[in-house]
Structure 1
Amino acid sequence: MPALPDSFCPVDGARVPGGSLAWACPVCRGPLDLDFSPTPAHLKSLAGRVNSLWRYAECLPLPAPAISLGEGRTPVVELADGISAKLDFLMPTLSFKDRGAVVLAALAQRLGPERVIADSSGNAGTALAAYCARAQLPCTVYVPAGTSPKKLEQIGAHGARLEVVDGGRESAARAARTAADEPGTFYASHVHNPYFLQGTKTYVHELWEDLGGRLPDALVVPVGNGTLLLGAALAVRELYAAGLIAKAPALYAVQSAAVAPLAEAWRAGADDLVGESAPAPTFAEGIAIPRPPRARQILRAVRDFGGGFLTVTEEQIAAAQRDLAGRGLYVESTGVACWAAVRDGALGERTAVVPLCGAGAKAGLANATEG
């Protein structure tokens, strides 16, 4: 089996050897990136490969694991002239987080820790619980109080131990990080561990293949911790460097107006977060992250790819969820944020793809009386 690539800190350059259980930079305790620069396969060579995200083997840092549940290869459907949706809620655990979770679980299975822990507001925890169950790895998920009961039920059904933490998303993350420093622990952080981004980047590789070797003018993604956006940026860079696309699409990030620390920093022209963003109720609970650890990387990626930030109100989210349901697509409220942002023409005549990230069965329908 090939050696695992090293990780490194994008802030200070500190390195972590491949195969280590270290989950953060040893100097600044920030998230890590992977020292991995693959070359994608040409379009014609993909024919006949396994019908999952593992068909992009050249671009993944691990070989296809036995724990795969067939994740990936979700369909693309047209919503309006020039705007299509990728139905990433049609995954084994009903959210796009399966893309990164299967890679993290495969890594954990290879490293053989005593325990796996994670923190999540729902979807990432569900995905990790499912793939850890598949890999027969003990898993504990730290969740904030107030997490959707349906998501808690799904996490528990996969056999994971639930640790409900008083407070919000940040409180759950702090509790998990404290536990992560115990010997023999693999912290399956979808924020800090760069292997998660290696999984989410397959979203763009699939788009490129399904669109016949091209990408739309714009990729519009919901951003809380930024794992889908940063994965998308990785894939676009890989495809462009290999000469497989002539022009990179613009990257647009969508946040709830109620919790929009990155959009505020963008409007201020800042390279990092500005001030403190207080938690607030929002239908888009999955992206309500007051202080995303990869904020600098997210802002830089949007800037590098000529995009911008869009924010949506609670009324827009609820209306977009009802609109999609009327089109036959029942999606959770966080997952409709991008459609809420662009359905009224915010991108002009540019072509775009939005992800529908999580199934509506996870959290029900938003309405104006809920927060």
Structure 2
Amino acid sequence: MSLVVGDHFPQLSVEEDNRTMSASSQQRNTPASSVSSLTFQCTSCGHHEPTTTRTPSCPRCGGLWDLEYEPPRFDPTRIDTQEWSQFRYRRYMALDDESWRNITLGEGMTPIVRFNDDILLKMDYFMPTLSFKDRGAAALIAHCQAIGVDSVVQDSSGNAGNSVAAYCGRAGIACEIFVPEGTSPKKIAMIEAHGATVNVVPGSRDHCAQVCRSKVAEQGVYYANHVYNPFFYEGTKTYIYETFEQLGRIPRHILIPVGNGTLYLGAIYALEHLVSSGAIHEMPQIIAVQSEKCDPLLQAVERREPTPVTITPEPTIAEGIAIGEPMRGRQILALAKKHGVRFVHAPENDIMTARAELAAKGVYCEHTTAANLAAYRQYVREFGPTSDCLITMCGAGLKSDH
């Protein structure tokens, strides 16, 4: 299976290339197209609201919002190569205005390195707050600034909260983060350093989310949440656009950790965009990772259920994917069925071994990130040798040493 279309985009003559560069320069100096006419649509009942709404979910049925946005056909010549952040792909992102220019911290542009003959590592912890969540947070907080939000709350196992806190600090937006007990003290320290208030909630990650959402319901504060707000996925889409630009192709296998599915959803949306644009011929094999201690989506796939299975999460060092009740579970599973996604466990006892293996080759990552390599080894045991596999290094190790 080839996912390269090396001759699909015609080579430009010198004259054509100069015209393209001129157009690109004009684009950089022209405000982004307004998406004020776009709307949110409820994933359950279809109700519409303008994207300026402060309501975190459908007021009629409580369903989550999807963003009604159709990006233009992907054309690599329309990437703004003079912008050194993920917003070089802004032509394919739903952005309200030029607020991103005041928000960006240079997120994205992370290298891809070869780990061995079969594995490529996308070094997404080379980010301002040391995790891939900066992709989504930058886009989301740019939206918040554009619509005049002055205070937000968020719940997180650490990384998303840290990202939202950092970009809120940059935007001058007040921020309060809820984290479950057991969250790495270093992640908490980083959140506080950005000026945010941190509330440590006893109990599970899912209970933490419930406590935070109760505050949203009672006080009406803006819920800058990476699961609820679809602007977050406008940022995580860039993981794929960036990979395509860097390699000139898409690897045959893409392994993605799935808790709430923020990277998974953004990646699939972008891959679907590349396919529909003719940039690639077909979807790669997506490998979705869940902890063996917390696997409501994997069990649903095994049982052919359309919704996540009800489970009781057990303690796991892969805290970033310890989500027992993924709010977008139905969407995650529908896309898995549509694209033949394979789910695999990250064996708990293999995570620290994988972390040591990565560190021995210069890659010092957090536990949840090491779970990706542990899951890759498990996938090979189940499905056989797997070459040309892109694995995200989504979080840095120093944050999770506890």
Contact 1:117 1:180 in 2 (8 A): yes
Contact 1:113 1:185 in 2 (8 A): no
SS in 2 for 1:357: coil
The residue aligned with 2:341 is: 307
Could you say which structure has the higher helix fraction? 2
Q: In terms of Rg, which structure is larger? A: 2
Contact 1:95 1:358 in 2 (8 A): yes
SS in 1 for 2:176: strand
The equivalent position to 1:181 in structure 2, one of 205, 211, 217, is 217
The residue aligned with 2:22 is: none
Note if 1:229 corresponds to 2:261.
Answer: no
Contact 1:7 1:18 in 2 (8 A): yes
Task: Indicate the RMSD between aligned Cα atoms, in angstroms.
Answer: 1.6
* Residue-by-residue CA offset, 1:5-27 (whole Å, 9 max, x unaligned): 21112222121212111111223
Amino acid at match of 1:321: R
Q: Which moved more, 1:158-167 or 1:126-135?
A: 158-167
The residue aligned with 2:175 is: 139
Contact 2:289 2:345 in 1 (8 A): yes
Contact 1:84 1:354 in 2 (8 A): yes
What is the rounded CA distance, in whole Å, between the counterparts of 2:77 and 2:39 in structure 1?
31
Contact 1:321 1:330 in 2 (8 A): yes
Structure 1 residue 299 displacement after superposition: 1.2
The residue aligned with 1:124 is: 160
Contact 1:41 1:56 in 2 (8 A): no
The equivalent position to 2:85 in structure 1, one of 40, 44, 52, is 52
What is the rounded CA distance, in whole Å, between the counterparts of 1:242 and 1:311 in structure 2?
33
Q: Which moved more, 1:95-104 or 1:59-68?
A: 59-68
SS in 1 for 2:101: coil
Note if 1:329 corresponds to 2:363.
Answer: yes
SS in 1 for 2:326: coil
Amino acid at match of 1:324: L
5+ long unaligned stretches in structure 1: 366-371
Contact 1:40 1:56 in 2 (8 A): no
Note if 1:244 corresponds to 2:304.
Answer: no
SS in 2 for 1:181: helix
Contact 2:180 2:204 in 1 (8 A): yes
What is the rounded CA distance, in whole Å, between the counterparts of 1:3 and 1:226 in structure 2?
25
SS in 2 for 1:56: helix
Q: Which moved more, 1:19-28 or 1:35-44?
A: 35-44
The residue aligned with 1:30 is: 63
What is the rounded CA distance, in whole Å, between the counterparts of 2:335 and 2:387 in structure 1?
19
User: Taking structure 1 as the reference length, what is the TM-score of the superposition?
Assistant: 0.94
Residue pairs, 1:201-350, within 5 angstroms = 201-212=237-248, 214-274=249-309, 276-343=310-377, 345-346=380-381, 348-350=385-387
SS in 2 for 1:270: coil
The residue aligned with 2:7 is: none
How many residues of Structure 1 are paired with residues of Structure 2 in the alignment? 363
What is the rounded CA distance, in whole Å, between the counterparts of 1:303 and 1:323 in structure 2?
33
SS in 1 for 2:209: helix
* Identity among equivalent pairs (%): 42
Contact 2:69 2:94 in 1 (8 A): yes
Amino acid at match of 1:90: F
- Find runs of 4+ consecutive structure 1 residues off by over 6 angstroms: none
The equivalent position to 1:10 in structure 2, one of 40, 43, 48, is 43
SS in 2 for 1:65: helix
Contact 1:76 1:85 in 2 (8 A): yes
Contact 1:8 1:35 in 2 (8 A): yes
What is the rounded CA distance, in whole Å, between the counterparts of 1:147 and 1:60 in structure 2?
32
